[in-house]
């Protein structure tokens, strides 16, 4: 990068506006080239976006941060197909709707941590990150008596410090590789098409509690997955046991034997 900046200065002195444009283009290409992006990503701390699986397993996940109008409907749909999903709960949501937290737990849904008040985690100090996570987990555990082992960053935002801190607390940082975009108010048909055209073995699919058309789309999505040989599992069931690594795309895979 230093060399490229020096080149840019030289072009400013010697060749005028056209050379400046070309030099800027060269820098843009260099910074965004796959080789450089890949090298940068390799050094990053990443959450788990999806899992390398030999079988067609997939995890459906729901973030619960604000409304509660369709929680029971989602439980009923999932239960009618014998399916368990993972719900990532914000601590303030737990405060408002403890009866729904208990209903999810009683229905066999997996509960994960989605922070206490949905902040931008990368803007927090390490202590603040730990406080957000600890407080939310304690609220979930106080209602259900069960332990929490998964964390999802609000807004999907993170940096190396966030992921390192999550790992240090003994939790798995969980992202997703299929985004339903249900929070944008997409129709049930659009949600269905996004999920069914993007899902692959090992996918983690993102939905939202209280999204307008998610209940309408969910049954058809489950039917599609089951008809196409997918096993729908919780995130914890999807994750690999034993030693693992995460590649540049956020895929969890078994570590090679030494």
Query: What amino acid positions are annotated as catalytic residues?
Result: 63, 208
Q: Which DSSP state fits 14?
A: H
Residue appearing with tokens 């307008």: 212
User: Residue 184's CB: how many other CB atoms inside 10 A?
Assistant: 12
Q: Is 119 left (phi over 0), alpha (psi -120 to 50) or beta?
A: beta
Cα 248 to Cα 33, 42, 245: the distances in Å are 15, 5, 10
Beta strands in 3-56 (DSSP E): 50-51
The answer to whether residues 110 and 86 touch, using CB atoms and an 8 Å cutoff, is yes
- Residues paired with 232 in a beta bridge: 58
- DSSP class per residue in 70-120: THHHHHHHHHHTT---EEEE-HHHHHH-HHHHHHHHHTT-EEEE--SS---
3-state secondary structure (DSSP) of residue 19: helix
């Amino acid at each position: 990068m230093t060399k490229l900046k020096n080149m840019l200065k030289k072009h400013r002195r010697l060749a005028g506006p056209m050379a400046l444009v070309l030099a800027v283009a060269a820098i843009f290409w260099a910074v965004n080239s796959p080789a450089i992006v890949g090298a940068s990503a390799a050094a990053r701390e990443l959450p788990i976006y999806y899992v390398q699986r030999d079988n067609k397993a997939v995890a459906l996940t729901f973030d619960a941060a604000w409304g509660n109008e369709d929680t029971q409907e989602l439980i009923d749909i999932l239960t009618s197909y014998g399916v368990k999903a993972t719900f990532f709960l914000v601590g303030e949501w737990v405060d408002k709707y403890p009866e729904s937290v208990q209903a999810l737990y009683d229905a066999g849904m997996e509960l994960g941590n989605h922070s206490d008040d949905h902040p931008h985690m990368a803007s927090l100090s390490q202590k603040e990150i730990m406080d957000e996570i600890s407080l939310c987990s304690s609220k979930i555990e106080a209602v259900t008596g069960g332990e929490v082992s998964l964390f999802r960053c609000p807004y999907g935002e993170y940096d190396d410090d966030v992921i390192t801190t999550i790992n240090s607390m003994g939790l798995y940082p969980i992202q997703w590789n299929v985004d339903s975009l249900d929070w944008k108010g997409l129709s049930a048909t659009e949600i269905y098409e996004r999920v069914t055209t993007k899902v692959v073995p090992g996918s983690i699919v993102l939905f939202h509690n209280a999204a307008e058309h998610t209940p309408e789309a969910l049954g058809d999505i489950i039917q599609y997955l089951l008809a196409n040989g997918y096993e729908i599992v919780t995130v914890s069931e999807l994750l690999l046991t034993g030693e693992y690594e995460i590649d540049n795309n956020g895929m969890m895979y078994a570590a090679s034997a030494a």
